[in-house]
Structure 1
Amino acid sequence: MSPDISNPPDPSEDFMLPEGLIMVGIRSYTYLIQNFVRKKHLIVPDEDGLTQDNIRSCRTEADIYYILGEHPRVAKCLSIGPDKDYVDLEYYPNGNLKQYVDNNRAQITEADLKRWAHQMIESMAYIHSKGVIHSDIRLDQWLLDESFNARICDFNASGFDAQPDLGLEKRPANGLENASHFLPREPELDNTVQTDLFALGSSLYELVTGRRPYEELDDESIELLFQKETFPDTETLLFGDIISGCWKQKFHSAEEILDSPEWEVTRGAV
């Protein structure tokens, strides 16, 4: 099911007032409007070029929600502006996975971690099956719905393969992950399934440890360690083999992770 472009939610006239603004990102504003969230391109005063880039990013995100349609592992898109200048998403009051885990670590069970890890990997498998590369994967890119299930979001730095049925040409992703989630490569190279999977490994590390890989180090130091394939020890961690396998590029798809012997031990609890 694709988002509705002709019948957007009907917000009150004051939705653009500052009190409705809940976040200012690199590329977009996010507003809470009644019971849904609107993401609209960021306007950069006196920087028309940057503003135009942000408009293109918003249109990319809108196109990706068309490509992905409705899926239980993806944030639900309710509608899209007629010019693709905003997207309206379902509001999830449980927040994102990183916030929830950080704030409730003592109450979270191993079964919870296994379920969320499975859903994170499943969401990656789904978007990649649709030709979408996220390019900015980290733990706070999954929202928790009303049933506390993880849904991936935030596609304004993403890219996708050509979509002839939708009349869309290939659009390379333009995001760069945080140093702790960045597969060493030349920054000008296109993001790929492999770069997403590397970042997935770091996100799973965040999930089980409550911190980013090498969180205590600066970005340059992390980059040098990753270039040498020197990664944090995962031997005793839940999902340790999966995390290490993502960092060492053992897996070539998220589906391969779910089918791997390393994942088999967790399947009975998800």
Structure 2
Amino acid sequence: MDAKPSASPGSVKVELLMIGSCACTYRLGDGVIKSPRIDVDDPEITRDNVKAMRVEANVYTILGLHDRIARCLYISPMRDMVTLEFYDNGNLKDYVAKHGPSQLDKWTKQMVEGVAYVHSKGVRHSDLRLDQWLLDSGMNARLSDFNASGYDECSALGLSGETALGNEGLRHFMPRDALEDNSIRSDLFALGSALYELECGRAPYADVDEDTVVERFARYEFPPVATLKLRCFVIGAWKGCFDSATDMLQQLEEQQRSND
């Protein structure tokens, strides 16, 4: 990740892609630059956004290059900017909305593989949802957006552990005290909701107000999944039936082999 993008700002047009809660995202040639969103009226928000960007930079350093993770091309010396590979096919949520889950088995496996890899490196994503997976040129799902993540101490890289900076959206949020740190268990719950999104094309209880969603999840009342191909993995993730993403992956591979 030491090599800078080949294009320079003077030779390629810089295009603003989005302004998020923590970061501004720009396209520069074949790269996507993420930098902290500056709030001139609130220095504290700016400091929080800078910290979130450093967390994301640290996570990409911990994860390195992997086929199930968005490719990081460059991290600035101050860790306040990262450059990622640009993926023309966009994210899974937008793609599924237009074309449906045309490669359901493949994407399901790749989503679970990505989460299993992240967890193997001591990272909790902490904001899993379908639009966090990008589609590369081979239509492979790559997990991205780690600015809310938590991670274990990584002495080999000189990094202290960090608690997660954020929580999942309410339709992906495992019922718990909102001040609790995120965990493998909460990531798996959110993965269940993301897999539901993948097959159904909408988030769980998409047409229900958020207060009702919170109440139903707290009672472990979930949307019906009996007709879903992924029902065992969705409801299993919601009900805490998997010890790890690796456990889920092994069961998924067994099911897919038996269906071949």
TM-score of the alignment, normalized to the shorter chain, above 0.5: yes
8 Å Cα contact 2:134-2:142 kept in structure 1: yes
1:242 touches 1:263 (CA, 8 Å); kept in 2? no
Within-5 A mapping of 1:226-245:
226-245=217-236
Query: Would the aligned equivalents of 1:114 and 1:269 in 2 still touch at CA under 8 Å?
Result: no
2:254 is matched with which residue?
264
1:147 corresponds in structure 2 to 138
Q: Which one of the candidate residues 59, 64, 71 is aligned to 1:69?
A: 64
What's the secondary structure of 1:71's corresponding residue?
coil
| Unpaired stretches in structure 2, ≥5 consecutive residues | none
After the TM superposition, which segments of 4 or more aligned residues of structure 1 sit over 6 Å from their partners? Answer: none
Distance in 2, Cα, partners of 1:123 & 1:202: 15
Give the counterpart letter for 2:171 in structure 1. Answer: S
Aligned residue pair count: 260
Determine the structure 2 residue equivalent to 1:193: 184
Please state how far the C-alpha of 1:64 moved relative to its aligned partner.
Answer: 0.6
CA distance in 1, matches of 2:257, 2:17: 37
Cα pair 2:7 2:28 within 8 Å, conserved: no
- Of residues 126, 149, 155, the one that matches 1:135 is 126
Match of 2:35, SS state, is strand
Q: Secondary structure at the match of 2:17?
A: strand
CA distance in 2, matches of 1:9, 1:169: 32
Query: Once the 2 structures are TM-superposed, how far is the Cα of residue 268 of structure 1 from its aligned partner?
Result: 6.3
Aligned 8 A contact 2:36 2:81 in 1: yes
- Shift of residue 10 of structure 1? 4.0
- Identity over aligned pairs, percent: 44
* Deviation string, structure 1 residues 73-101 (Cα, Å, up to 9, x no partner): 00000001111110000000000011111
- What are the within-5 Å matches in structure 2 for residues 1-270 of structure 1? 3-4=1-2, 7-13=4-10, 20-105=15-100, 108-109=101-102, 112-260=103-251, 264-267=254-257
Residue 159 of structure 1 deviates from its aligned partner by 1.2
Secondary structure of the structure 2 residue equivalent to 1:123: helix
Letter in 2 for 1:22: L
CA distance in 2, matches of 1:247, 1:255: 16
Deviations 1:242-263 (A, max 9, x none): 1000000111200000122x65
Cα displacement string for residues 99-154 of structure 1 (whole angstroms, at most 9, x for unaligned residues): 1111112xx54xx1010000000000000000000000000000000000000000
Matched residues in 2 for 1:234 and 1:73: separation? 27
Deviation at 1:9, TM superposition (A): 4.0
Q: Residue by residue, what CA displacement relative to the aligned partner does 1:153-183 show, whole Å, maximum 9, x if unpaired? A: 0001111000000000010111111111000
Q: Please, what is the CA RMSD of the aligned residues?
A: 1.7
Q: 1:9·1:79 contact (CA, 8 Å) conserved in 2?
A: no
SS in 1 for 2:162: coil
